[in-house]
Amino acid sequence: MGMIGFYAGSFDPFTNGHLAIAKKASKCFDKVIIGIGYNKDKTERISKTKMKQAIEQVIKDESLNNVQVVLYQGLTVDKAKECNASILIRGLRNGTDYEYEENISAINEKIAGIDTCYFRAGDLGYLSSSIVMEVFNNGKPIDKFVPKPVEILLNSL
Ligand code: ADP
């Protein structure tokens, strides 16, 4: 079965920054599962089912053959375990991300004994889903910030 990594997020929408992390992870693990989480503290901007389909198209376009997408509610660690993942994957853009992620990772390790692997955002560290939506909602092109299937989805809304 090999080493399975679980990359959780809201992906609302999935950006080129998320894609960069998924690509890095796909090289390091036998299998990567992108988990689109339903987070009750965040209002959903885009349908999760449609975002799942768009991400699946991105994976096809990029030939990321060991990457899969799932939707989940509840605790990330529960879904990760259900998927037989042995590690969580997150991306780090800056120190603020690190502090936020560290707390979540520590809790996850304590409650489920599952560790987190961080990948660096590198030169896409300026990108966030909310910034992309801000640009999009103000009528500016977003083709530089999101993969094509996500751009198509947003333009269809
Ligand atoms: P969440 O609501 O769970 O934070 P996000 O979809 O905002 O979900 O982010 C999912 C993960 O991707 C987080 O670990 C976040 O730090 C990371 N991430 C977000 N944007 C980028 C980016 N531009 N480059 C690298 N990682 C990113």
**Cα 98 to Cα 81: distance, rounded to the nearest angstrom:** 24
Buried b (16+ CB within 10 A) or exposed e, 13-36: bbbbbbbbbbebbbeebebbbbbb
- For ligand 1, atom 23, name the residue with the nearest CA: 17
What confidence score (pLDDT) does residue 45 get? 85
Q: How far is the CA of 83 from the centre of ligand 1 (A)?
A: 20
Position 97 scores a pLDDT of 95
How far is ligand 1, taken at its centre, from the CA of residue 55, in Å?
Answer: 15
Per-residue pLDDT of the chain (157 residues; tens, 9 = 90+): 799 999 999 999 999 999 999 999 999 999 999 999 986 777 778 999 999 999 999 999 999 999 999 999 999 999 999 999 999 999 999 999 999 999 999 999 999 999 999 999 999 999 999 999 999 999 999 999 999 999 999 999 8
Nearest CA to ligand 1 atom 25: 121
Pocket perturbation via mutation, ligand 1, pick of 90, 107, 134 by most ligand atoms within 8 A of CB = 90
